Amino acid sequence: MSERNQHIFDKHPRRAKRYRIIKIRRFILAVIVIALIALLAIFGVKHLLANNTGYNSESGFIKYSDSLFKSIDGDMELYEPTKVQEYGEPMSFATNLPTTGYEGIDKAVADKWASDKKNFEEDNQTVAQGNQVALVAGYESSGTPYDAEGLAVHTFHYEKIDKEESLTEEVDCYNIATKTGGELTLSQMFFGDYESVLKQEAEAYLTENYKDNLTEDYASKIDSASGNFILTEAGVRFFWNSGTVVTEDQGAIAMTIPYEKFDGIIREDIGKRIIDPSKPMVALTYDDGPSVDDSTDRILNVMEEYGVVCTFFELGERVDEEGDRGAQLLQRELKLGCEVGTHSYSHPNLYELGTDGLQEQAQKSIDAITKAAGQPPTIMRPPYGNGNDEIAQIFGLPSINWDVDTLDWSSRNADAVLEEVHKMGNLDGSIVLMHSIYSSSAEATERLVPELVEQGYQLVTVSELLQYKYGYTPIEVKHYGYYFRDGGEDGE
C-alpha cells in the first residue's frame, strides 16, 4: 500500500475495508488464473509439444521424456512399468514399459523396442554433436468386459537437428487373451465389418475435435487405424499415428468407440476359446471354395459340433458366383471363429501375371470376400503355392502355403486323405491342405476332426498357428511359403 493510499485510508476507514476486499478478490483471481494455466499445462501437453524446446542436458532429457510419458492419454494402472532413461549426446533413449506377466507379450514388446532402437541407432549414426535425437516409448493399458486386456505402446521419435525440431508418435497395439496370455487375432474379436463402424464414427469425431488440425488427405487415411486398436473397459480404442489424419504436432490421436456400436460385429466370446501355446496344435485349411454342393456346409457342421476352427482360402470368383448363398457360407465361417483368406479371384498362376494382373486378382478377390463376408480376408494363399513377397505385398496380406498335402484333389477319396495325414505322424505346428469343394474332403474332415481332437490337438486357424505356435506378432505382410516354421526366410 502506498503512503498516499495509507493517508486516504486513515481518513476513510470504509475505503480501507473496500480496498482489502479488492485485494482479496485480486488474490482469488490470481489463484484462478494460475490454476487455469496449470490445467492448460496438464491437458494441453500435446499442443505444447509443438512449441517445446526439447532439452540440452541429462536433467532436461529426464524431464522431457517424462513429459512424453505423461502425454499418453490412456490409463496405466493395469501393469507395473519400469522406467529407464539413458541420456546421450546426441542420442538418448527412454522407456517406461510394462511387465504384463504374459511371457509372449512381454517378449513381443521387448523385441519391438530392441529392433526400433537398433534401426534408430543405424539411422542416426551420422548425427553431429550439438544436435539431439531421442527414441522414447511409454504405454497405456486397460481391462475389458471380456477375457482380454488391451496394451498400446506409444513410441516417440524426437529430433532437433540444426535447431529444427520434430516429434512423431506411433502406436503398437496388443490385445491379450488373459486365459492364455496369447495375442487375440482379428477373427477372435470380430466376425463382421468393424472397419465400417470405424469409418462412420471417425469422420464426425475428427471434424469435431481436430477441425483445425486435419491433414489435407485425412479422409483417405482414416483406415490407417484399422487393425491399430485395443479393447478397453469402455469400447474399442483406435489409434492414428501422428501425421496421418491430423498434423504431426498433434501427436498420435485416439478415438474410443463404445461397444454398443459394434453390436452383432464384435464377438461375445472374446478370450473364451482357449489356445494353450504349450500344447500341440494344427491348422486345417480348405482352398478353392465356397463349394457348389454341400461340402463347405458339412465341413462347418463338424467345426461347430467339436467347437474347433479352420481356415478357408476362398476364390473371389466362386464367392461372386454363389451370390447370397456364398455370403451366408462366408458369414457362417466367421461366426464359428474360422478364418477367411483369399486364394485369388480366378485361380491363375500368379507367377505369370504382371503387376496389373496381380493387382486385379488382389482387388477383385478382396472386394468379393469383403462384400460377402462383411469383413476383408486376413490372409492369402497363392494358387499352386506360387507366391513370393512381392505378391504378398500387392495383396497386402501375409501369404502362406502348407506342409501337409493330403492330395485330396487327386485322390477324391476320404481313405486316401486320411492315409496322407497319418503318414506325417506328428502334426504339431502343421498346416494341412484340403479343398472345400469335394464331398470326399468333407467326409475326410468328418473322420479326421474327432480323431485329432481325441489325440489332444488344438485345431486353430492359420493366423492363430502363426501367432501361438511360432510367435509372429504381428503377422507381417510377406510370403511365409512352405517355410512358415522358419518365418518364410527361405522364400518360395
Catalytic positions, written as ranges:
287, 435
Select the span of 184-192, 205-213, 284-292, 463-471 touching Zn ion (CB under 5 A). Answer: 284-292
Q: Is 408 in the site for Zn ion (CB under 5 A)?
A: no
> What does the alpha-carbon distance between residue 7 and residue 14 come to, in Å, rounded to a whole number?
13
Distance in Å, CB of 344 to Zn ion, minimum:
8
Within 13 Å, how many C-alpha atoms sit on residue 217's CB side?
A: 6
Cβ nearer to Zn ion, comparing 332 with 343: 343
> What does the alpha-carbon distance between residue 302 and residue 459 come to, in Å, rounded to a whole number?
12
Q: Strands 404-405 and 80-86, how do they pair?
A: unpaired
Cβ nearer to Zn ion, comparing 181 with 383: 383
Distance in Å, CB of 420 to Zn ion, minimum:
17
Distance in Å, CB of 446 to Zn ion, minimum:
22
Q: Strands 182-183 and 164-177, how do they pair?
A: antiparallel
Q: Is 287 in the site for Zn ion (CB under 5 A)?
A: yes
Select the span of 59-67, 71-79, 285-293, 363-371 touching Zn ion (CB under 5 A). Answer: 285-293
Q: Is 159 in the site for Zn ion (CB under 5 A)?
A: no
> For residues 418 and 399, is the Cβ–Cβ distance under 8 A?
no
Distance in Å, CB of 441 to Zn ion, minimum:
12
Q: Is 314 in the site for Zn ion (CB under 5 A)?
A: no
The residues pairing with 164 across neighbouring beta strands, listed in sequence order, are 161
Select the span of 9-17, 48-56, 250-258, 383-391 touching Zn ion (CB under 5 A). Answer: 383-391
> For residues 351 and 325, is the Cβ–Cβ distance under 8 A?
no
List CB contacts of 392: < 8 A, sequence separation 6 or more.
Answer: 380, 398, 399, 477, 478, 479
* Phi-psi group of 81: left, alpha or beta (phi > 0 → left; psi -120 to 50 → alpha; rest → beta): beta
Distance in Å, CB of 347 to Zn ion, minimum:
6
The residues pairing with 153 across neighbouring beta strands, listed in sequence order, are 139, 172
Q: Which residue is nearest to Zn ion (CB)?
A: 287
Select the span of 26-34, 325-333, 378-386, 484-492 touching Zn ion (CB under 5 A). Answer: 378-386
The residues pairing with 139 across neighbouring beta strands, listed in sequence order, are 153
> What does the alpha-carbon distance between residue 283 and residue 458 come to, in Å, rounded to a whole number?
8
Distance in Å, CB of 330 to Zn ion, minimum:
17
Distance in Å, CB of 46 to Zn ion, minimum:
50
Q: Is 418 exposed, middle or buried (0-12, 13-18, 19+ CB in 10 A)?
A: middle
Q: Is 288 in the site for Zn ion (CB under 5 A)?
A: yes
Q: Is 188 exposed, middle or buried (0-12, 13-18, 19+ CB in 10 A)?
A: buried
Select the span of 93-101, 137-145, 287-295, 393-401 touching Zn ion (CB under 5 A). Answer: 287-295
List CB contacts of 294: < 8 A, sequence separation 6 or more.
Answer: 439, 442
- Residues engaged in binding Zn ion (CB under 5 A): 287-288, 383
